[in-house]
Chains A and B, each alone.
Chain A
């Protein structure tokens, strides 16, 4: 393979990885607060469809993005209400959210299937930086949402590990009872981060319908929300690690697509299986590594917090 093809694959890896990255960053925040949200797939779908519809009608991708964030936040609010206040089973609530989101997005998007979007997020190369050989075309010839994620990842890392609010967030996920007795409002914090997580997943979905494809198809996320959930374990609940993981999966996507166009003698159905099989393999390897390195999920992940049972 010559350099041009490698650069093209790496650049596509970033584009393909960005929707997963946004969703994974959101899930990192929710899980750091102790709430497992398996509704990411459904939230992404609702984000994708609502963003697409609004961008189409207002002829502006930014309004689409804003609405996708709003819709994602509202979807996550349902999960927060059920799991934080009503103390429902987080696994089942997340599954319900995914199912609801799949149905709702299909329902809302029925009339929009396959319509092209005349105003997608456009590739805007960053001056000077994009002229650097190899690094330029790989990292700096993208759309605004990719650049935004470059800023978001270190910002979130700093927030989670270096600020007081981040400490509170982690405390709530590790030991809510202790956090509570320190005067931290466990319920409020959980609500906030589940909702922010949903907004980020909404961006991830909108990225697909506003740039990556760009149009709306039923179930267009194709499991990316679930890959994002797996990615959080891979990233050991650290926003910075989520970046590499997302680009790794994006690279797989890009590679599979590349192989298809190169007429390799592998059935496209097997190539399509790749990201899912890799997710499983990576999850097994990472879980083993996390065991040996004594890295675990936030202690209180998945457990409802009940003040009476302190």
Chain B
């Protein structure tokens, strides 16, 4: 069959283009907002008003900005945590559960030593929160390392278990007797509360994320172990051939990944809630997955992207009062990831125009000619 006309083909680029690294995220944000706008219009809202209100709410006032920063604290940690595992192609989808377990362990310290203004209470909360979060991630890492049991499903299942465990505690044995029957524990004493900045809710947990981003960078790019992780992630066969102990690294990486997510939980109970409560996290563990991928697993990009997502969440919270369901934010996040994924093709491929001439049409489905 002979066809006349212009044909577009997708061709692999020899080297990924660097401008795409900047262009794709920004155009993805715009496209996601456009599709979101379509949904808003279809359900009878003025999308321009909604987006303006969201933007003003998140970035337009000192209070809004401070709340955005408050959200970035757990998000930075969960993003860094899952990004570490993703580096090794380990799909830790259990950040949410690890966050809850870290919060549980930190709360245990705070409630067990209630008089606790002792100097060691805070370090103990940090260490135990990280330890328990890490062990919670180690649980699926062991069968993954030994038998190759799919960690996507096991880490995800453990989210439900962790959330029900915290629910059990706050509805049962740990419920505050003076809490009017609400599902929360007693308030922590001052020694178990992270100091906050002025009148805002921004707390010292902010430094955890910043410090860990630097440590993440140094470990991944400047140490032998980081090199092993990167090689294993990019080419497991080569890693095995080079004598890298993959099983050991799977367990270690998952442990630290969970520990960082656990720290997110610790900082939420100690810096924001000042107690353990039902529904502690609005999905920080899941949003962290999107941020990590959007940032191409780069720790410094994560810190910047997290700020945008913090703003998105605060904005979404603000417009709830005008009848926009909070689930719109989740939807926008999913859309954003679609466009980023689709756009990734453009970093490695290019669309090439074949000038109008006689071309022999290839069989259907052939796009390479």
What is A's interface to B at a CB cutoff of 8 Å? 38, 42, 78, 81-82, 86-89, 91-93, 95-107, 110, 183, 185-188, 218, 222-223, 226, 229-230, 233, 267, 269-270, 272-273, 276-277, 279-280, 283-284, 287-288, 291, 307-308
Contacts and interface: CB of A to CB of B under 8 A. Distances in A.
Contacts of B39: 104, 107
A284 B147 contact: yes
18 contacts: A82-B341, A93-B338, A95-B337, A99-B286, A100-B334, A100-B337, A104-B334, A106-B326, A107-B39, A107-B331, A186-B365, A218-B327, A226-B157, A233-B153, A269-B164, A269-B172, A284-B149, A287-B147
A89 to B, nearest CB: 7
A103 B160 contact: no
Contacts of A308: 12, 368
A139 to B, nearest CB: 29
A16 B168 CA distance: 24
Interface in B333-369: 333-335, 337-338, 341-342, 344-345, 363-368
A99 B332 CA distance: 9
A269 B168 contact: yes
A106 B12 CA distance: 39
B154 A283 contact: yes
Contacts of A229: 152-153
B154 A100 contact: no
B167 interface: yes
A106 B327 contact: yes
Contacts of B325: 106-107, 110
Interface string B150-184: 10111011101100110110011000000000000
A284 B143 contact: yes
Given A223-B160, A229-B153, A280 B140 contact: yes
Contact of A103 (B148, B333, B344): B333
Nearest to A223: B160
Nearest to B342: A86
A222 B150 CA distance: 20
Nearest to A86: B345
B164 A97 contact: no
B165 to A, nearest CB: 7
Contacts of B216: none
Contact of B167 (A110, A269, A277): A269
B93 interface: yes
B158 A276 contact: yes
Contacts of A102: 327, 330, 334
Nearest to B35: A100
Given A88-B344, A88-B345, A106-B327, A269 B171 contact: yes
B160 A283 contact: no
B332 A103 contact: yes
B149 A287 contact: yes
B238 to A, nearest CB: 17
Given A100-B338, A185-B365, A279-B153, A95 B93 contact: yes
Given A86-B342, A185-B365, A288 B147 contact: yes
B113 interface: no
Nearest to B338: A96
A103 B148 CA distance: 32
A88 B347 CA distance: 12
A96 B161 contact: no
Contacts of A105: 327
Given A233-B150, A276-B158, A284-B149, A82 B330 contact: no
Contacts of A87: 345
A267 B344 contact: no
